[in-house]
Every structure is written in structure tokens, then in C-alpha cells.
Amino acid sequence: MASIIAPSYDGKGLVNLIAHIEGQATGTARAPGLDSSLASLMPSRRTTVLVLFDGLGSRQLDHPKGRTLAAAHVGDIDAPFPTTTTVSLATVATGVPPVGHGLIAYQLWIPQVGEVVNTIHMTTMWGGAIDQDHRSFLPRPNLWERMSSVGVEPVTIQPDHFDRTPLTLALYRGASFVPYGSLDDAADRTIEAASVPQRLVFLYVPHIDFAAHVSGQDSEAYTVAVEAVDALWGRLMAELPSDVALIATADHGHIDIDEVHKVRLTPAQHEGRILYGDARALFVKGDGASLARDLPAEWVPYEEITALWGPGPRHDTFEERRPDGVVFAHDGYAIFHRRSNDRLVGHHGGLSDPERAVPLLIRR
């Protein structure tokens, strides 16, 4: 069976962590803050550093090369649905659930484009350019703009090849962009940025996600990535001043899918349907019930899962972008439409515990 457990949006979710940080700085937020059991652990300092380790699910903290990370683990929160990078980063950037920011899938149906869009690259699924004002993709004011309005300067520290990409323009409107080349460079840039009072410094680290996708969690490449990220966290713990709050989390976890459990849809299974989302949670516009009957998956119509994208006001585009339902792959399986990348080992997007649960790490 597929694991379908709705993520928390009312106190134990990524959106609530962002709301807590915003509330500390501004006195208000667009979503509920963390519940009391987690809020009581959160530091309040002159400057906050928030690190997002892409792909580091809570269940991955038992890796022997990740002991420094594990030692800072104070609890778990939920990634939003679907459990994928662009959806979670949009939640960070706006402080609202997916229903409110409109970036509701990695592969996203955008009727105005007339295509499914790869939201990592902001292109069609075959790499074609789209007519889109990327800076206006997410609602205004976003988190960074709201922080700036009360005198908190937002700074985002990102891999240097992310500079001025369409996704960067969409996510970080209103924040200063600081590029880094290596993880040592990332630590240096973060420590330097945090030396200024009244800042929110957001550091994004993709290394674990890349290794998990390409090579899987049992690989040497994954071990090297965990060790490197653990060392980065150790440097930040040791070298950031005590009057700087240091917090970290992730956007989703990972599961490995072997070749036997990868299901490729046939041309006939594409007919009459728009397929998007993720391989672990396949969005369908059209008849999903008959599609799922022949798959190791469970079809759930939209009317039964409206809560998965969160509560609150709906983004103007939500209704036209949302699916008629979702085909949730059974545990251990992934389902690929013809434009999905079926070569990867690590996957996410579904609602199983390893995909959904992400750690809350705090320097105490």
C-alpha cells in the first residue's frame, strides 16, 4: 500500500518553522507558529542563520558520518506536500502552505503555458523556454520583503551557479544573493553575513540531495556528501558567534528505488491524461482510477485529499493547476511518465515517513 499521511501545517511543519522565525522578527506571520514543544527550543538572537540541507530526511541522520548533525537534532517537522524541493523552497520563501503560494508540484501544469513545467529549471519538460515573469511567480510580499519592511535584512547564500537562474529569481525576490563555490566557502560566506545584526541569513546546501538522487544512500558518493555537510555544520556550530541563532532543517527526505520497482508508463497509459507531479506522487488530470488499477499504486481523487496542500487562502492559480487526483505509488515503487527521469536512484515526493519527516536542528 501507499503511505498517505497528511503533513502538519498547524504546528509541526516546515511552514510553521518559517512562521515562528518570522513571528520572532516581525510580531506576525502568515501561518501558525511551531507548537509549544518545539517553540520552547527555538533560540532568539540578534541575527538568525537558517540552513536548509536539501534531501536530508530525519531517517537519514543515523548515517555514521553525520554525527554532528544528529547531535543537534531536537525533533522532526513535516515537509509540505508534495515532498519536493521547489514546493518546500516556495513555502520557505512565502511563509505559507502550497495552497497559498501556488507552486504545488515539481512538474507543474501551468495552463497559461499550455505545458507541464519543470519548476527546477522553469522550462518545459524537454527544456524549452517558457513565457513567464519569474520574479512575479510567487505572491507579494514574500517572506524576504516582509522581513525587510521591519528592518531585518534577508541574505541568501547559494551555490554560485544558481545566480540569476529563473528559480532563484522566483524564490529570492527581495533578498541579497551571495554565491559560494565550495562548502568551506559557504561556511565563510555565512559567518561573514551573520556578523551584521538584524539579518536573516538563509543558506541552501544541495550536496546530500544530489548524491542521494544519482547514487543512492548506500553509495560512496552519498557517504562523502554526508561527511562534507556534517563538517560544514560543525564549522557553523563552532565559529558563529553566540549571539547568532543557528537553525537547520530540510525540504524532504529520500528513499532508494531499485530497477525492479521502477514502473514506466506505456504510450496508451498517457492517452487522454495530463501527467505531472513526482514519480512517487503522480498528479493526473483525467481518469486516474483506471490508470492506477494496473499499477502498484493507489488512486485518490482530489476531493479526498484537499488538505494535503495545506489550509488557508488559495492562490489564484491553485484550482487550474491542481490535479483531479493523485496516483500514490506503493511503498518502494516509483511510477514514471514519458518525460520523467527514470535513471535516478533516490526519489521523493510521496508521503511516507522517510520522505515527509525532516529534522529540526538547533545549536544550543
User: For the segment 169-207, what is each residue's pLDDT rounded down to a tens digit?
Assistant: 999 999 999 999 999 999 999 999 999 999 999 999 999
Spans in the chain with pLDDT lower than 50: none
Q: Using the CB atoms, write b or e for 186-214: b if 16+ within 10 Å.
A: bbebbbebbeeeebbbbbbbbbbbebbbe
Q: Name residues whose C-beta falls within 8 Å of residue 269's C-beta, 6 or more positions apart in sequence.
A: 291, 294
pLDDT at position 329: 98
Q: What is the pLDDT of residue 2?
A: 83
pTM: 0.98
For residues 123-147, one letter each, b for 16 or more C-beta atoms within 10 angstroms of the residue's C-beta and e for the rest, the string is bbbeeeebebebeebbbeebbbebb
Nearest residue to 156 (alpha-carbon basis) of 118, 198, 109, 194: 194
3-state secondary structure of 358: strand
50 has which bridge partners? 202, 247
**DSSP secondary structure code for residue 259 in this structure:** G
The pLDDT of residue 195 is: 98
Bridge partner list, 249: 52
Check if CATH label 3.40.50.10140 holds for domain 14-94+131-256+350-362: no
pLDDT at 4: 86
**What is the per-residue pLDDT for 1?**
79
Q: Are strands 346-347 and 123-124 parallel, antiparallel or unpaired?
A: unpaired
Extents of the domains making up the chain: 14-94+131-256+350-362
Instruction: Return the pLDDT at 32.
Output: 99
